[in-house]
Structure 1
Amino acid sequence: MGEAIDPAAPEPRKVPRLIRLPEVKHRVGLGRSTIYRWMAEGRFPKPVQLGGYAVAWVEEDVENWIETVRS
């Protein structure tokens, strides 16, 4: 049968999904230069460093930015 749920158990942590530049460009409809310029101006979310020169954006940050722009 099923296991009993322990109400005192901590909630599982949600691991943020990371997306790379090609997907970011596709979702927001902007080019690389515009994205990086707007990041420098504080108008676009900054990526997280993956190691070396590799970066990715937190998907939720990009989605929130899209919703803000649409408003």
Structure 2
Amino acid sequence: MCHNLNKGRTTLFCWVRDGKFPQPLRIGRRTLGWTSQQYNEWLNSLEAANNE
């Protein structure tokens, strides 16, 4: 995900904290991540906000 957005992990978690990015899902005991659906919905919401 960080690679797709060209942002660091810390930036993503700051966005999550600020409500700008979806909450991650627990994938394993020590692993968090996002589904492609979450990512695509987030991108679509950005596009919709830019078109308003």
| TM-score normalized by the length of structure 1 | 0.56
CA RMSD of aligned residues (A): 1.5
1:60, distance to aligned residue in structure 2 (A) = 0.9
Higher relative contact order (CA 8 A, sep 6+): 1
**Highest Rg: 1 or 2?**
1
Higher strand share: 1
Count of residues in correspondence between the two structures: 48
SS in 1 for 2:32: strand
Give the residue type in structure 2 aligned to 1:43.
K
Higher helix share: 2
Match in the other structure for 1:50: 27
Stretches of structure 2 lacking an aligned partner (at least 5 in a row): none
Stretches of structure 1 lacking an aligned partner (at least 5 in a row): 1-23
Give the distance between the partners of 1:30 and 1:55, measured in 2 at CA.
16
Match in the other structure for 2:12: 35
Percent identical among aligned pairs is 25
| TM-score normalized by the length of structure 2 | 0.71
1:28, distance to aligned residue in structure 2 (A) = 2.1
